[in-house]
Amino acid sequence: MLKLYVGNKNYSSWSMRPWVLLKQAGIPFEEEVVRFDSFEADSQFKRSLAGLTPVGKVPLLLDGDLAVWDTLAIAEYVAEKFPDKQLWPKDAKARARARSVCAEMHSGFSALRTAFPMNIEANLPQVGALALRDQSAVRADLQRLVEMWSELLKQHGGPCLFGGFGIPDAYFAPVVMRIRTYGLPVPAEVSAYIEHLCALPGIKAWIDDAMAEQDFLAFEEPYRMSR
């Protein structure tokens, strides 16, 4: 059986992607949560991953003696291993577009990521409003996301970005969490997509687990003193 190592569900945006992909697709896997204590070389987090992955990060997928790290690599591996799940769009052009938007998320939107760390439990609309007021790069990132999602939802008819749930939706799920936490303004069609995604069993299960953690990590939350 596949084994997936993830970090704290409240904070670990990278971990969320493959976990909700596997869960929503109905692919069996064993979960191992590695708590974030710090990311220093001598941390328990790093020690827990020693010998499993050369990068010492989560997520990490193990399939027997094979280790796969990086969210895109994991997504591609799972899509190839379970072709019946149709995790990428069937149409070649749509599939190329889906890979393009995932790669754009993978390497871009740095202003939005920095201003809005994933924190599912929190409700921080004032932090969101201040960042949008003061940081043009954050406004540009949000505008790009809204334009991208609106176009894809219109083109493919929803309710997910390419019709049915797939890798792009899992890949953008952490951004959806940020939009909710920081109260970011989005148009009606994007709001409907967000509500649909959060109601999916695989994503709701991650949200429920994150809410139940009750594990405040000060180094993950420079904007408040406690939960």
The per-residue pLDDT for range 101-143, each reduced to its tens digit, is 999 999 999 999 999 999 999 999 999 999 999 999 999 999 9
Res. 223 pLDDT band, cuts 50 70 90: confident
Range list for CATH 3.40.30.10 in the chain = 2-85+213-219
- Amino acid symbol at 126: Q
Cα 198 to Cα 105: distance, rounded to the nearest angstrom:
19
Mean pLDDT of 172-187: 98
Q: Is the pLDDT at 38 greater than 90, yes or no?
A: no
Record: fold of 2-85+213-219? Glutaredoxin (3.40.30)
pTM, two decimals, is: 0.96
Q: Is the pLDDT at 177 greater than 90, yes or no?
A: yes
- Percent of the chain topping pLDDT 90: 92
Mean pLDDT of 24-32: 98
CATH code that applies to domain 92-212: 1.20.1050.10
pLDDT at 227: 78
pLDDT at 83: 98
pLDDT single digits (tens) 44-75:
999 999 999 999 999 999 999 999 999 999 99
Cα 163 to Cα 97: distance, rounded to the nearest angstrom:
13
Residue 4 neighbours by CB under 8 Å, 6+ apart: 18, 19, 22, 29, 30, 31, 32, 59, 60, 61, 62
Residue 74 and residue 59 in contact, taking contact as beta carbons nearer than 8 Å: yes
